Every structure is written in structure tokens, then in C-alpha cells.
Amino acid sequence: MKNHEKGMLAPGSLADKTIVITGGGSGLGLSMAAYFLALGANVGICGRNEEKLKSAAQELQERTGGRVFYHPCDVRNYDEVERFREKTIAALGPINGLVNNAAGNFLSPTERLSHRAFDSVVDIVLKGSYNSSLSFGKYWIDEKIEGTTLNIVTTYAWTGSAYVVPSACGKAGVLALTRSLGVEWAKYGIRTNAIAPGPFPTPGAWDRLFPQEFMQQVDIPSKIPVGRVGHHQELANLAAYLMSDFSAYIQGEVITIDGGEWMKNGGEFSWVGDLIPPEMWDVVEAMIRRKSRKN
């Protein structure tokens, strides 16, 4: 097993934490939950599908032996978020961590979207994140708890992206939320940070963004400088570090974990390596030198 596939922090690193993860019943949320539990945290998860949550909680309990609580909650609805928070406190005690991970997304030309489709994605991503941040933030300020929030965005929060425009709008808002509250609520001892992942295979994302037929035409690892997609454990390592007190001086920050993907997409000459094999460089160099002598 390679190092990035292993847990990074010492056992017990999150022993004093009770962390809720929105959308913790599947994908990256589930992987983060498993690692937080393994490090000694209590974990509360929510999502809309109760059956999915129930079996995720059971799996987490069996794998880690930790304390897990689940409750159905649509993060678009503030009252449901409040109820989820209250029920988690009743089950697990005071909460000091929140991961805004729940998201909605699908690939589509924007002109094909109804306004309801646009709302649906933005409401899960942005409204869901500010609903939770507000509900948990007010609770932490009232109870004088020094809480930590981690928002899961993605790199097109700052580049934008065609064909996932509602998600790009929502994630850009969540990044603004991260930076703004990172400053405003620091005085209460509340930390707010974000992670911007590149591609990490999950059924939720892959079914909606890279349908199988389409995948046959696209080689995702070849678009990533390190030549591979992300491993869930390396994201869980970063998330656990940002939720832990080891990262106490990181505030209002977004940390990218994408194998260099967005830099490659943004760099003017990033495509050159795909076009010119190493053995051609003597020829190319000679061509350039010949021309530049004439000028």
C-alpha cells in the first residue's frame, strides 16, 4: 500500500471531536466519516435517503466501532437542518465540527436547464452550506464552542466551468462563504476552511458527470499531471487534518487536492507535453534556434 493510501494522523487525533457530515451516507462523505471515526471522533451523518443512511451508519459502526448517528435531512430546508443538529446533540453530545459535503450536480448544456433544475443544484450546494453554517455557527456562538467548519468545494469554484454551471455558481458562493466567515467568526474561535478536490471516483459523481458511454471516449487520468485520479484516503487525511487542532493556524483557506489538474487546464502551453514526445525536442529546439537567430 502506498503512503497516500494510508491514514496519516496518530490514533486518537480526533478523540475530542463530534463532527457532523452532510451527505455522509455515500462517496467522499462516507470515506471522511470512516476516517474521523477511526481517529476517535463521534460522527453524525445526514442525507435525504433514510435507507442509505441506515446502512451507511451500520457499515461505519462495524468497520470502526465508533459512535455514529444518522438522521434524514434535506439541507435546503433550514428547519430540517436545525432538527438534525438538535437530534445529533441529543444522541452524541455537543458538536464541534461541521463538514458541508452534500452536493447536487449533473452535466448539461445550460440552455437545456429549466429554472427548477438550476435552483435544485444551487440550493443543495450553496443554500445547504449556508443553512448549516448559520445553524451550527449560531449554536457555537451561543454555547461558546470553538467549532470548525470544512466546506467541500471544487477547483471550478474559481475557474468556472462550462456544462456544470449551477454547480460552479454554487461552489463559488461556498468559497466566498468560507473566506468571509473565516475572517468574521475567527473572534469566536470558529475556524472555516475548504477543500477543493479534483476527480475522486464516486458513484454519485461519476454517474452524473462521466456516464459510461461517454467515459469510453475520455481518458481522465491523462488530463491530470500526476497521471491518476484521487484516492479517498488522501482526501480523508487532508479533511481530518483540517478538522483537527493541528491545523489551528489555517483559517479562511481553500486547499486544492487535484494532482495539478486545474493548473494544467489553465496553463497556456500545458498541452505541449501531449503533442511533442521527448525524442522530438532536439528537432523543435533546432527549429526555434534557427528562427530566433534570424530575428
Catalytic residue numbers? 156
- Rule CB under 6 A: choose which of 40, 72, 204, 252 binds ligand HXC: 204
**CA 102, CA 133: separation in Å to the nearest integer?**
13
Scanning residues 48 to 67, which ones bind ligand NAP (CB under 6 A)?
48-49, 52
Picked from ligand NAP, ligand HXC, none, the partner binding residue 251 (CB below 5 to 8 A depending on kind) is: none
Piece of the chain touching ligand NAP by CB under 6 A; list 47-55, 59-67, 107-115, 213-221:
47-55
* 102 closest CA partner among 79, 134, 82, 131: 131
Q: Any contact of residue 159 with ligand NAP (CB under 6 A)?
A: no
Backbone Cα Rg of the chain: 21
Block residue for cell numbers 445547504: 128
- Identify residue 51 by its one-letter amino acid code: E
User: Which three three-digit cell numbers place residue 17?
Assistant: 471531536
Task: Please name every residue paired with 98 in a beta bridge, in sequence order, or none if there are none.
Answer: 20, 149
Q: Which is nearer to ligand NAP, 39 or 205 (CB)?
A: 205
Q: How far is the CA of 8 from the CAs of 2, 13, 38, 241, 276, in angstroms?
A: 12, 10, 11, 9, 38
Q: What's the distance, CA 65 to chain centroid?
A: 25
Q: Which is nearer to ligand NAP, 23 or 147 (CB)?
A: 23
* 125 closest CA partner among 174, 160, 175: 174
* 138 closest CA partner among 85, 175, 73, 87: 85
Q: Which is nearer to ligand HXC, 110 or 287 (CB)?
A: 110
Q: Any contact of residue 197 with ligand NAP (CB under 6 A)?
A: yes
Q: Which is nearer to ligand HXC, 127 or 208 (CB)?
A: 208
Q: Find out whether 52 and 80 touch, Cβ atoms under 8 Å.
A: no
Q: Which is nearer to ligand HXC, 92 or 177 (CB)?
A: 177
DSSP-H helix ranges across 73-164: 78-92, 115-122, 128-143, 156-159
* 105 closest CA partner among 128, 129, 122: 122
Q: Any contact of residue 75 with ligand HXC (CB under 6 A)?
A: no
Residue 279 beta carbon to ligand HXC: minimum distance, rounded to whole angstroms: 34
Piece of the chain touching ligand HXC by CB under 6 A; list 77-85, 104-112, 137-145, 213-221:
104-112
- Judged by the rule CB under 6 A, the positions of this chain that interact with ligand HXC are 103-106, 108, 112-114, 116-117, 120-121, 154, 167, 199, 204-205, 208-209
- Judged by the rule CB under 6 A, the positions of this chain that interact with ligand NAP are 22-23, 25-29, 46-49, 52, 73-76, 101-104, 124, 128, 152, 154, 197, 199-200, 202, 204-205
